[in-house]
Structure 1
């Protein structure tokens, strides 16, 4: 099978197309013939060696894929060859075949194309975990989403709007504001010389933000941490700025707000059943048109390095997808 191979951690990434064998699935595993694979910022960090885990070299990058099951291992129940599925793991998506644990696979309903479906688990799964499981979002609450034009950010805007929240979005340039508005943001803040805290307090009538979902870190997290409402929930989910911030403990103390980490990938592996339920619900909402993932471009598998370059230079809105077969 063809696969993208990372043989060393480097920036810019150094990837090659290689021929590899994909073994038969063992107990509890499923082999998927991949048709489409998503590209995420986590994938970029992984091949640069900057993620919190480093896979043994060499490895096939890619977290999320969609395709058709072509073999199942012993003890696998409820899945069979021919099923259209989405699947996730820390690595292995950018190949014509991959082995995945049964617990990390969700069937794709009819009528939903696989290029859209492959973007759901990581981005919308993170959004659902953050908003529903961690923050316990209630209709009418105000949510601020940083990095709102990217994959996870845009999914969070889309889902928060669907769940009845008032959504405020933060983006890095005026050109990225329109996409956040198109998915349900009521107001968009473009980071710049303005005081983020002052802007958020003005947009909330001085009350502050009920739920802050931050994947940027750095100064954005600092401003958001000072603009939380009483009893709010502040969720760090990533640090695309490259700066991991700290939080003065008096800030959550004075407003009784909670700081809640939202690491969906680890949660989905520890708690596969609620994660699978969330996947099924998200796919149903997408099929019904209630959520609208944005696939901005589909590239060939061999263009994986170009896709990562675009992500690294903030040239992507929504998600990039690699067409595998």
Structure 2
């Protein structure tokens, strides 16, 4: 095991004592993970920044598919500096910056990560961008390339385009050579979606989405729908698919899983696939590493530009998550965790 000589037994963290949303969670002192207790495949990092995700609100509320035992520190995405590595970890040393996903625990000064769920941070990428890169862009590439089979020249419709995954999908879709239409409930999100590189934007929240696309003069038929919203929006978007179109379901920010009519699926020979990206990282680690090599190449080429909507301190995470759940942001919100002045680690 390689270590940078960490010391201390406690750390500041956002602690959930009981499930429910919204939640009265607070920042408090909790036991800090220790280097000597690392599993062989794990890495201990000093967290520099943590990305806020809609899934965090579900986890805190107790409705997420991966349940956490109480009490727990929420947060699934972070950027940090390696402090110690387990005996089975290859190619990582203390002092390197990494980004990645954890089951929980990102909203804390220290965290333990599995070696298959992290990637080295490109030198030119700042901590706040790195903290919000791994989940949105990893999800977007897996959903569009592996699950949606998006091909150059096809048309992609991104439902929920102003969120972090949505904006990432706009950029990834363009990098894959597609024409991209971004859809969001609010006209106020147009600037963010178009700045991400969308070819067109449609503000829509209910009714006939196909007609709304026609009225916006962007056409009515698309090849792939990437759906983060769920509920009635999914069925409306599915009706926009052309023959042999693909509907890729990523999440349900509306709070409702969709109900779809099988006859619509049959008549157009539509493929409906899900993309829950989390398991890919450990079930297909080589594919995950290759995907991030592609994403980092696109980042260095300037084709991916993470949008940071806001940065907050650890104490501001609870309020920012409430705002995120209400759709207040366009882009990623990141919590920063600087080392206090005078503290040596």
Which residue number corresponds to residue 212 of structure 2? 199
Structure 2 equivalent of residue 23 of structure 1: 34
Q: 2:14 aligns with which of 1, 4, 18?
A: 4
Extract structure 1 runs of 4+ deviating beyond 4 A. 201-206
Distance 1:193 1:98, change over 3 A: closer
Of 125-134 and 15-24, deviating more is 15-24
| Residues 107-126 of structure 1 mapped to structure 2, 5 A cutoff | 107-126=120-139
Structure 2: 5+ residue stretches without partners: 1-10, 339-345
Give the TM-score normalised by the residue count of structure 1: 0.96
Of 129, 142, 162, the match for 1:149: 162
- Looking at structure 1, the residues matched to 219 and 225 of structure 2 have their Cα atoms a distance apart, in angstroms, of 16
1:198 CA displacement: 2.1
> 2:116 matched to 1:103?
yes
Q: Which of the numbers 276, 285, 296 marks the counterpart of 1:263?
A: 276
Matches within 5 A, 1:141-290: 141-192=154-205, 194-200=207-213, 203=217, 205-206=219-220, 208-290=221-303
Summarize the Cα distance change of 1:73–1:315 in structure 2 as closer, same or farther, 3 Å threshold.
same
State how far apart, in whole Å, the 2-side matches of 1:193 and 1:36 are. Answer: 36
- The answer to whether the 8 A contact 1:33-1:70 is kept is yes
The alignment status of 1:61 with 2:74, answered yes or no, reads yes
The C-alpha deviation readout for 1:105-134, integer Å capped at 9, x for no partner, is: 111121111110111111011100011111
**Contact 2:175 2:298 (8 Å CA) reproduced:** no
Q: What is the aligned partner in structure 2 of residue 324 from structure 1?
A: 337
Alpha-carbon separation, structure 2, partners of 1:57 and 1:191 = 39
Contact 2:100 2:135 in 1 (8 A): no
| CA distance in structure 2 between the partners assigned to 1:204 and 1:247 by the alignment | 25
1:90 aligns with 2:97: no
Q: TM-score, normalised by structure 2?
A: 0.90
Deviation at 1:193, TM superposition (A): 5.1
Cα deviations by residue, 1:270-317 (Å, 9 ceiling, x for unpaired): 212211221232123223311111011111111110111110221111
CA distance in 2, matches of 1:212, 1:248: 16
Aligned residues: 324
**Which moved further from structure 2: 208-217 or 275-284?**
275-284
Q: 1:201·1:227 contact (CA, 8 Å) conserved in 2? A: no
In 1, the alpha carbon distance for the partners of 2:206 and 2:283 equals 41
Q: Is 2:200–2:218's contact at 8 Å kept on the other side of the alignment?
A: no
Partners of 2:140 and 2:118 in 1: how far apart?
Answer: 18
Cα distance between partner residues in 2 of 1:222 and 1:65: 34
